[in-house]
C-alpha cells in the first residue's frame, strides 16, 4: 500500500473517531438540558406542595436528578479534555 493511500486511510480513521466523540458530546448536552428542565419542574412542584411526605419524595427526586447532572457534566468535561 502506498504512503498516500495509507495516510488517507489513517486520516479517515481519526476523522471517524472525532465525529463519534462529537456525536457523544452533543448527546450528553441534550441529556443535560433535559435533566436541568426536569430538575426545575420538580423544584417548582416542591414549592407548591404542602404535604410533608410528598415534599420529601420530591426532594429525593431532585437530589437524584442533580447527581445525574453532576455525573454527566463530569463526563462532558472528560470528553473536552481528551480533545485538548
pLDDT in tens, 15-62: 767 788 888 999 999 999 999 999 999 999 999 999 999 999 999 999
The pTM score is 0.77
Q: Is 65 exposed, middle or buried (0-12, 13-18, 19+ CB in 10 A)?
A: buried
3-state secondary structure the chain: CCHHHHHHHHHHHHHHHHHHHHHHHHHHHHHHHHHHHHHHHHHHHHHHCCCHHHHHHHHHHHHHHHHHHHHHHHHHHHHHHHHC
User: How high is the pLDDT of residue 16?
Assistant: 67
User: How high is the pLDDT of residue 1?
Assistant: 63
User: How many Å separate Cα 50 from the centre of its chain?
Assistant: 33
Amino acid at each position: 500500500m502506498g504512503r498516500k493511500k495509507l495516510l488517507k486511510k489513517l486520516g479517515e480513521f481519526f476523522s471517524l473517531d472525532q465525529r463519534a466523540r462529537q456525536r457523544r458530546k452533543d448527546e450528553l448536552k441534550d441529556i443535560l438540558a433535559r435533566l436541568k428542565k426536569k430538575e426545575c419542574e420538580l423544584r417548582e412542584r416542591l414549592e407548591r406542595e404542602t404535604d410533608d411526605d410528598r415534599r420529601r419524595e420530591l426532594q429525593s427526586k431532585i437530589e437524584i436528578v442533580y447527581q445525574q447532572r453532576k455525573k454527566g457534566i463530569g463526563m462532558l468535561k472528560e470528553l473536552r479534555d481528551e480533545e485538548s
